[in-house]
Structure 1
Amino acid sequence: MFTGIIEELGTVTAIEPAGDSARLAVRGPLVTSDAAHGDSISVNGVCLTVVDVTDGTFTADVMRETLDRSSLGALAPGDRVNLERAATLSTRLGGHLVQGHVDGVATIAERVPGDQWEAVRFALPPGLARYVVEKGSITVDGVSLTVTDVDDVTFGVGLIPTTLALTTLGHKRVGDPVNLEVDVVAKYVERLLGARA
């Protein structure tokens, strides 16, 4: 479980294909400072399990399902990624409950700069709009954000200077893919109501 508050911008150092999977190596001195084999680290919103840690770099195995359902398959050495260690029971919940389970890949549809912030619009993958509500929470590439508005095919967010400076969202361009995780509570409510009907 994560909070969507990015701790560090990491750098992909290697991607080694392994049949229907890949081994990803990411440099992140902060998130690896107390990481060990088996720990969870969110990489652009995807929960990955640490295989090894060496000199500020960790490796993780990424299975085909994850490569197909997220933007991790498009990463290349040198790419920057958002990193967050798993939450503990003593962690402040500054964002919202984030599982690290990607629901779909969106693309950036529009960026409109403000004086010190930026309005960003994302094209929603089919089937996810029903889980996105105005003033609700959504995770974009691992970043916990508040939805400013939504329609059937897009949603908007406002990025503050801190988010622009300390996450990959400050550097992405129109057309770039991003991982989305909708609020898990909405999915549970839908499932429970569907079972009653």
Structure 2
Amino acid sequence: MQATEAVDAGLLVHTVHRTVEDAVKGHFTVYADTTNQLDEFVAFADESPLTHSTVELGQRPTSTAPNPGNATRELFVEYEPEHSISDALVSHGFIHDASVRVEGGVEHWPVFVAGGRDEIRNRLEAIRTETDAEISVSRVATPDGGPSETADRTDRLTPRQREAFELACEQNYYAWPREISTRELADELGVSKTTLLEHLRKAEAKLLNPDDA
């Protein structure tokens, strides 16, 4: 969380397991717009007092996993279990469903859980108390009405692409007639018109053509 807040890069958490020393070793994919940002991220994580070790993995020759950014790197990071909310979620009946996305100092956990809304709300409140974590629910879906394919594909976007695309959707940039101009949207995002269009173009390509992203 600290690394994604300090560096303009994102993180996908794939799997974690306990070591014989009862530490935790996790498999992560770091993604960013440039390799320099990846280097900054790895250096930050490696120097953090919260990590025991950071090991870079060689690139796989082939992979069916989505490419979440223009540049990616795979890592094994070893750390103490109390530095993750994973155990607290599991102990209260939340089952990890897919890769955790971390961007801008915020973790996004897709989970399964059984129970009514009041019961789930109470479990979340217990986790907040135990971990002193700020937790909000972005979406609730029943098993027969899970996340859409488009929503899942947004995991392919870099933080900048996601920010630009989500702002464009919020401001009805894609509505007809369009409710905000490209220049107004760029000003609101704090970037040039050219940069905005580049972010949107790449985001749209990844969302509409997942096999080519």
What is the TM-score when the length of structure 2 is the normalising length? 0.32
- Over alpha carbons, which structure has the higher Rg? 2
